[in-house]
Structure 1
Amino acid sequence: MKRHLVQLIARVPEEVSRIYLVDDACPEGSVRFATERIDDRRIRALYHRENVGVGSAVMTGYAQAMVDRDVDVVVKLDGDGQMAPELLPVFVELVWSGQADYAKGNRFVRLRSLRQMPKARLIGNLGLSLLSKVSTGYWSIFDPTNGYTCIHIDVLRQLDLGQLSKRYFFESDVLFQLGLLSAVVRDVPMDASYGDETSSLRLSAALIEFGYKHLRNTVRRLKHRYFVRDLNLTSVALLLGPSLIVLGAVLSRVSPSSSLGASVMCFAGGLALTLYFLSKDVTGVPCLPIHGTLSREDT
């Protein structure tokens, strides 16, 4: 890990004004190892006394970036060398040019990249991507656990960092909060790269934990978007659609012969309303970046 970090820092473009290195109580002392071997004025080393999770490490870097008032865009890279710093200008350009509030990597665009991904991880990421679409409302976004990200500082200040997961669900939680803000998110195609670093994330345990958290976020998203922030025909369709489907199923069970017509009408009407809701939800993905409307005083 520590040698990967040294090589990574050496590849960071000169246009980057600051490099925050967060040591989450790494047993190898990676950050200290790197700072002793690299003389770079852009580096700011930040240390945790104990391991508190990858999400907490990112939040420490974010917090420092928000303290440094002249920061405009924040990019997050893992220190294992699996994310190419050469792609950094692509991420920054999307945000800086006003095309997005948040840009993230997507390893599923290039077919050759997928061949490098272990099958178990491929299947797991496909499942998590589908769950993330439902829980965040970003139906066009894929590879939600990808940690190569870029965010505008004014949008970052809008996030409730205290409510974000401190571990591996961090990226998915960020997407969830961005959805509540109606921020624009864009994918950046990138290759999957797997070196000699091994992940401590167990796929089976992650699917169970992530599944529960995605369900929780789905309920929160639907409540916020359709009943707190606004109330419209789509809200009515969300309420009545599933309810009529259930009512139709109940009627067909209670008295199949006498209530067949009512059962069919309830089911058909409920299905139509549910499909209407889904079409509105899928096409309602934010398309206008919000960071241009936020002032530093607002954040």
Structure 2
Amino acid sequence: MKIALLCHIEPDTGYPAQFEAAGFTLYYATTADQRASLDPKIAAEIRAVLTVGSIGLSAAEMDSLPNLEIICAQGVGFELIDTEAAKARNIQVTHGPGTNNSAVADHTLALMLAITRSVSYLDHRVRTGKWTQSRITLPGMFGKKLGIIGMGNIGHQIAQRCAGGFNMPVGYFNRRQMTDSPWQYFESRQALAKWADYLVVATPGGKDTLKLVDADVLRELGPDGYLINIARGTVVDTTALIESLRTDSIAGAALDVIDGEPEVPVEMISMIKNLVLTPHTAGRSPEAMDNMMKLVLANLAAHFGGKAVLTPVKA
């Protein structure tokens, strides 16, 4: 008998067939409305959920799935999964640490270069017939100072690329200092921002990191500093960031994530010159997607095979 799996996301081409071959019947609820109006008959069949950290699964949603046994977060993030509620119901929760580190680190450098060299803005200017007027002098990235908030595996890969490829001094802020790190530790976000030319946000989302980059941090980053966010939109105070960009209080920002995504604040739409936006796609390389899907399948196979899952989330 096949196992009912509810998908909050649409797996890439080829992966639904792999789930079907592994013994799962897929049901989809990829929008908030679909999740809120799930057919009770289908809800009663669901034994597994595939989601992402920015969608998650609330206690109320779990209550609507009486036979739920396991929740698999596709990537590393699981911030909107109510892990305490899952624990209370003995529902297993897994995630995908390490599956997309390289892709996210690569995308971070793409964003850094794009905002530094005004790639999006100049592309727009050229396409609108302003070739000659657009040949402006732009800063470089080589040798500039990189500050990272959240020196985990992704932060470390970003640091390696920037230090090795661009000769950038690296500093970081963490919950605690890393004893084996070659990078400079700062005891506050503000101190790191004041020192850095680039401030990269690479910390997990969730209530503990809510608006970690606020008006004070942006003020310290200053008019020559750039903010890069490849973590979660909730880590940055959007209102403060918009004001900093509007008043040129920072040099620019490049965001792969936005609080409230996929909705983009209307104020950001016209900020072509000092803001680069991508649609939460940093971790989506073919290799990363394959890593994530294989790990989800492995965790599901382990759970329904009576074995320990590979990458559990502990409440």
Based on CA coordinates, which of the two structures has the bigger radius of gyration?
1
- TM-score (norm. length: structure 1): 0.24
TM-score (norm 2): 0.24
Higher relative contact order (CA 8 A, sep 6+): 1
